[in-house]
Amino acid sequence: MTKHKYYAVIEAGGTKFNCAIVDIDLNIYAQTRIDTTTPDETIGHAIDFFKQQMAAGYVFEQLGLACFGPLDLTPKSKTYGYITGTPKLYWSNTPIVAMLEQSLECQVFIDTDVNAAALAEYRWGAAQKTTVSIYITVGTGVGGGVVINGLPVHGLVHPEIGHMLIQPPDGIQGTCPFHGNCVEGLASGAAMGRIWKQPAETLADDHMAWDIQARVLARLCHNLILGYSAEKIVMGGGVMAKPGLLNKVIGYTQQSLANYVIFPEGIGLKDIICLPGLGGHSGLMGGLALILAKA
């Protein structure tokens, strides 16, 4: 009898680490959420969780890490597998891959959380059968992953779509410490909290913040459609759970494009800009997608 194969996966975000044991059929056997505090504390808790699962019989040899960045993804680099210069306090220059490999004695596959989520949506979710697809997360930060011909895009480093500069609507000032008026500095949950002086989730449905949010994200989608000719722009993350926000983004993108792009017959922006097919599991299953992509 063939022994059932398990995989360890982590969706490592700026607010929380989601850790799980899964199989190739996307079944989840054990799962936990760990607050993102300091590297030693957070990664230590993740290691403890996985050691407990191995002791319980969920033995794994590979771990897929969908991680917030920026990351060093150049295999020959001395700092391969590091979180590099991040605005996340305490986390710059963290050798996260080495910490996990040494403690768990397993092989770790790493990519950005958004590249991994983009790959998962391509394999199992809303972006199946596409040639070019993009996953955008709008949560604590804003990030974007790109999959072309079934492979996540890497180049000089990796895409940093969240830091694309955007002309802010109505004189709103962005809050990114690096770039000011980038998408993340204007539209992330953290930025919304700083701009409007209250958490995004507490803003009333008719607050002007949501209209501005939609306009910023529409400008992002405008650039992605023109720059990548994306067949799918999958928009995930906690902020996108706001009822009606996606439709506003689609409407403002339509206005922005001004009929310049002629889509194939039967295809409209509602077919292109969409929510994740995997729901809240895009990032977590992205970890599995990273492993399977290397298999």
Cα separation, 15 vs 193, in Å, equals 14
Mean pLDDT of 251-258: 97
Lowest mean pLDDT among 92-96, 167-171, 224-228, 265-269: 167-171
| pLDDT digit string, tens, across residues 180-203 | 999 999 999 999 999 999 999 999
Nearest to 159 by CA among 132, 177, 139: 132
pLDDT number for residue 2: 52
88 vs 237, which has greater pLDDT?
A: 237
Residue 222 structure tokens: 């405008």
Cα separation, 69 vs 290, in Å, equals 16
Cα separation, 204 vs 62, in Å, equals 44
Q: Quick one: pLDDT band at residue 1, thresholds 50, 70, 90?
A: very low
Is the model's pLDDT at 40 over the cut of 90?
yes
Is the model's pLDDT at 244 over the cut of 80?
yes
pLDDT number for residue 65: 98
Mean pLDDT score across all residues of the chain: 94
Is the model's pLDDT at 161 over the cut of 90?
yes
Name the pTM for this structure. Answer: 0.93
Cα separation, 41 vs 49, in Å, equals 12
Phi, psi of 96 (to 5 degrees): -65, -40
pLDDT number for residue 131: 97
pLDDT number for residue 85: 86
Residue type, 88: K
pLDDT number for residue 158: 79
Q: Quick one: pLDDT band at residue 155, thresholds 50, 70, 90?
A: confident
